[in-house]
Amino acid sequence: MSALATQPLTIQLHNVPDPPRVGRNAFEVVLSDKDNRPVDDATVQVQLARTTGPHMRRTIGLKPDGHGVYRGNGEMTRAGDWNIIVVVRRSGAVIGSHAFHLHV
């Protein structure tokens, strides 16, 4: 689990399995505002990008699950280092983002 505290969002990323593996992985993003209240009205995408293969980039949309939780599945096709970029939008405008680093 990792988190980034920014104004006005805190973005947490969880993955299952942990640590991630080659193949299908489940991603969960938890969003809260500066007052630690869940953010339920956002659109959340996760971009999976292998650091040594720019052509290995996928974007998945996460579905809201209530209480600031957003979930989805993505494929990590090869072992190595991956950047996981969480992009959060409200009304089409980016209101937060953060890059996490995972090793598969």
Q: Which of 36, 42, 46 is nearest to 14 (CA)?
A: 46
Q: Does residue 1 surpass a pLDDT of 50?
A: no
Tell me if 88 sits within 8 A of 76, measured CB to CB. Answer: no
What's the predicted TM-score (pTM) here? Answer: 0.88
Tell me if 60 sits within 8 A of 72, measured CB to CB. Answer: yes
pLDDT at residue 54 in the model: 65
pLDDT at residue 51 in the model: 85
Domain extent listing, the chain? 2-103
CB neighbour class for 95 (10 Å; exposed up to 12, middle 13-18, buried from 19): middle
Mean local confidence (pLDDT), 77-82: 90
Q: Does residue 66 surpass a pLDDT of 70?
A: yes
10 Å Cβ neighbour count for 1? 10
CATH top-level class of 2-103:
mainly beta
pLDDT at residue 52 in the model: 82
d(CA 59, CA 49): 9
- For residue range 3-57, list pLDDT tens digits in order: 554 458 999 999 999 989 999 999 999 999 999 999 999 999 999 998 886 677 8
pLDDT at residue 7 in the model: 52
